[in-house]
Amino acid sequence: MDNKELEHYLESTLADLTLSQSERVKLRELSQVLDTEQSGFMRNRAFDLVRAQLNTAPENLQPVLKWLEMVIKTIDIANQRKKVTSSACFSPGDTCRKKICEILAQTTSKADICVFTIADDIITESILATHQRQVQIRIITDNEKSEDDGSDIEYLQRKGISIVMDNSPYHMHHKFAVFDDRYLLNGSFNWTKSASQYNYENILITDSPTLLAFYQQEFTRLWQRFS
C-alpha cells in the first residue's frame, strides 16, 4: 500500500470514532509488513486526523483520543513483533569492506552515511556507483579528517554527492549508515584501507525498526544542524 492508501484506511477506521476488533487485527497485520518510514507516516497521520477531528467536533474528544491510543498501541505492538535479522563482521580482512559494498549495491532509493572519514578506494567507488544509479546519497563527515591525505570526501563532492561536515573544533566521530530505511550498519569500523588491512574493528548490520528509527533520527538531526 502507498501512503495515500494508508491514509484512506486510517480515515475509514475513524469514521465511527472507534477502532473495532476486526479493524485492529487488520491494522496489526498491515503494520507488520510496513517499513520504518511507512510506520512513521501512519503514526503521524493518525495524530493529524485527530487534530482535524477535534477542530471540527471538539465534543468527540474522548472517543477520538481512545481511537488514537488504540491505533498507536497496535502499530507499536506490530513493530515489536517483527522478526529482527542481525549479523556482524570483523576486521582485519575484507569482510567489513565487502559487506558495506554489498549493501550499497543492493540499495535502491537512498543511503544516509554518517562516518568519521572515507579513505578506501573500493568503498568510494561503490558509493559512486550507487549514486550513478540515481540512489540518493547523503554523507555527514568530520571536517578536519576530510583534509587528510587519502581522504575521498572532496572527490565524492566533485561527483555531485551531497556532503555536510561538522565545522567545529570537535570531531564528528560516528560510523553508521542507514540504507533504504531498512538496514542499519554501525560499529567501530572506519571506512578506510587501514581499517580493513590492519585494525581490529567491527560492524553490526540489523533491520531492527527500533534501532533504525533512533539512528535515522540522529542522522536527520545532524544533517539539519550542519547544513
Per-residue pLDDT 10s for the chain (227 aa) are 788 999 999 999 999 999 999 999 899 888 877 877 888 899 899 999 999 999 999 999 999 999 999 999 998 888 776 677 899 999 999 999 999 999 999 999 999 999 999 999 999 999 999 999 999 999 999 999 998 889 999 999 999 999 999 988 999 999 999 999 889 999 999 999 999 999 999 999 999 877 888 899 999 999 999 99
Instruction: Please report the pLDDT score of residue 79 as a whole number.
Output: 75
Q: How far apart are CA 38 and CA 40, in angstroms?
A: 5
The Cα 189–Cα 202 span in angstroms is 5
Q: Closest Cα partner for 74 from 30, 137, 114, 118?
A: 30
DSSP 33: T
Distance, CA of 31 to chain centre: 17
Residues with catalytic function: 173, 175, 180
pLDDT at residue 99, as a whole number: 98
Tell me what pLDDT residue 175 has.
Answer: 98
Helix (DSSP H) and strand (DSSP E) numbers for the chain: 9, 9
All three cell numbers of 174, joined, read 560516528
User: Is the distance from CB of 42 to CB of 6 less than 8 angstroms?
Assistant: yes
Q: Which residues contact 118 (CB under 8 A, 6 or more apart)?
A: 124, 127, 139, 141, 151, 152, 153, 156, 191, 192
For residue 181, give every residue at least 6 positions away whose Cβ sits within 8 Å of its Cβ, in sequence order, or none: 35, 36, 37, 110, 212, 216
